Amino acid sequence: GRTDAGVHALGQVANFTTNKELDTVTIKNALNAYLPNDIFIKHAEDVDVSFNARFDAVSRLYVYRIAKKYSVFTRPYTWYYTHPLDVQRMNEGCSLLVGENDCTSFSIAKSRKENMVINIFRCHFTETENEIEFKIKADRFLHKSVRTMVGTLLLLGRKKLEVYDIKKIIASRDISQAGSTAPAHGLFLKEVNY
């Protein structure tokens, strides 16, 4: 699979073929011995030679973390956002994203494909004392689409947009109508399902 540069992955999946006769535990341990400290293989298994980690996925779950309080310890993994946000309004906007939508408005031009439709199964914000977390699960995503959706929904939370504007933005198929793209360091690829 793949994701935007600077995004964290808790559940990234990759596959490769080899002519070596090694068991999966040996492969996992050997890879971990050579990888940099910020990459770790949690699990390895044999799969059919036709398996493709990117194209065989049926859904992906991303999490975006927004810090309400500044911390040097969470700074690399959350976007510290200084504006107050109305989470209920943002969740109303999320409800308009659920389902099959042409998401051209949330993707940068260089990733334009013939099919820009994303089937979003669910998306919502939850809030704790220190953080607001956005979760989104869909069949696929486009380049920077999750981060641009977050940036757009934050405008809704700041009351810079109305809820009905989300449908107008989708219909426009124009990224200039959407909000700014949120920084990569707050985004995590949490899981990929097959």
Q: Which residues of 149-183 are buried (b: 16+ CB within 10 A; e: fewer)?
A: bbbbbbbbbbeebeeebbeebbeeeebeebbebbb
Token pair of 86, please?
Answer: 């109305």
For residue 165, indicate whether it is catalytic: no
Find where tokens 């494909």 sit: 113
Place of tokens 């220190």: 130
| DSSP three-state, residue 4 | coil
Quote the DSSP letter at residue 13.
-
Q: Choosing from 4, 56, 139, 165, which is the catalytic residue? A: 4
Backbone angles phi, psi at 86, to 5 degrees: -95, 100
The answer to whether the beta carbons of residues 156 and 93 sit under 8 Å apart is yes
Residue 96: name the closest of 166, 153, 149, 158 by CA. 166
Active site residues: 4
